[in-house]
Amino acid sequence: MRKSGSGQNNGRGGRSGARQDFRSRDDKPARKSASGRASSAKAGGVKSAAGKPRAAASALREKPAARPKQARPAPAEAPRGPTRAQARAEAQEVLATGVQTLVVEPDEADMRVDRFLVARFPQLAFTHIQRIVRKGELRIDGKRAQPNDRLAAGQKVRVPPLKLDQPRPVSRNAAKDQDDRDFLKSITLYEDKDVLIINKPMGLAVQGGSGTKRHVDGLLEALKDDEGQKPRLVHRLDKDTAGCLVIAKTRFAASTMAKSFRARTTRKIYWALVAGVPRVRQGRVSTYLAKEGDEGDSRMRVAKHGDEGASHALTYYAVVDTAAQKLAWLSLKPVTGRTHQLRAHAAHIGHPIVGDPKYFDIENWELPGGIQNKLHLLARRIVIAHPRTGKPIDVTAPLPPHMQQSFNLLGLDTSRYDPIVEAPEE
């Protein structure tokens, strides 16, 4: 078993440190109001011919003969443009037969290019779209696109010709749609016309993949509006991580909240049950993480700055309570949002999360009786600015059943003060 994190990285690359006294800081971004510019137009008039009274009198005397009034032709009705659904159907038809150039609309600005294609071509599988991007067949203003490229209004996206040999989806089953809507409603923590936050159950994938048929993105099909637009995922959780998942119900909300995540103004708090008790009760883990392994069985490894694919990852943690020095209840605040970040960081400091099939690497460690061998990680709380009002939405998820069982067995009280709220935001 590795030693607990004490501000050293044991030579495994990256940096990890401890900080005893967290400083709280209000990181709400100042909202700038843009004042509109009022424009005034001067009315132009015909000047009188001063000094020429005779010409004026003559003009008054010589009135031209009145012309018969002619009926004005009725203005032709402006042709109506295609609806969004019709435009999307036409775009899909072109996509199947030849190259197409799409212009990014203002409400699509700041979307990832792969999400942009999902919105424009909902009949294409997400894995299919990823394959197109990965092969370099997609161009943004003439340049090869990357999956995480963000789009700007007015940019041109060149889409290659595709053979849509898969059958068009048949009309959805009304009873199944209703079941999916009822299920989503049963796990809803917050909802308004722009935002939906659900309590994602453990074991439910966020997106589809190889062998994954039921997932949140698929369930959202039941919430499509009259124009065929469905709510959009703003971020992701691992399949076995339970808790708060934010979903945008409009394009505007998706764009605005995505910026909040990237600007790191969204506050996220996770709870985990880990093996052992960290010697440093409140700490900071700072490393570089890089993906290794095949796509279907990949994991994150601690890397060095400059390694290929390595990204910096920063996490604050605090010990909330312990159980017989064998287990610890950790509260975690990720500053960055790397894949498997919390799981990799917990293992890095020598205290992997209980039930983690990828990162739990303590030999001869026995699971205490009555505790299920499932990932004990919960996206406990999220605070995000509302996309329209800017006011914070503060949502908390309850413990999933297997974690609630473990907390009951260990005598851990969820009402206990959580010191992670005092951790810095960056």
Catalogue the active-site residues: 238
> What are the backbone angles phi and psi of residue 286, rounded to the nearest 5°?
-130, 115
Q: How far apart are CA 264 and CA 195, in angstroms?
A: 18
Where residue 314 falls (left for φ over 0; alpha for ψ -120 to 50; beta otherwise) is beta
- Beta strand extents in 82-163 (DSSP E only): 100-103, 139-140, 143-144, 156-159
CA-derived radius of gyration, the chain? 30
Q: How far apart are CA 64 and CA 41, in angstroms?
A: 34
Q: Quote the distance between the C-alpha of residue 17 and its chain's center.
A: 29
Q: How far apart are CA 198 and CA 189, in angstroms?
A: 5
Burial of 177 (0-12, 13-18, 19+ CB in 10 A): middle
Please say whether the beta carbons of 313 and 341 come within 8 A. yes
268: closest CA among 217, 315, 221? 315
Residue 180 structure tokens: 């999916």
Other C-beta atoms closer than 10 Å to the C-beta of 167 total 7
Where residue 123 falls (left for φ over 0; alpha for ψ -120 to 50; beta otherwise) is alpha
How far apart, in Å, do the first and last CA atoms of the chain sit?
A: 30
Residue 333 structure tokens: 């605040």
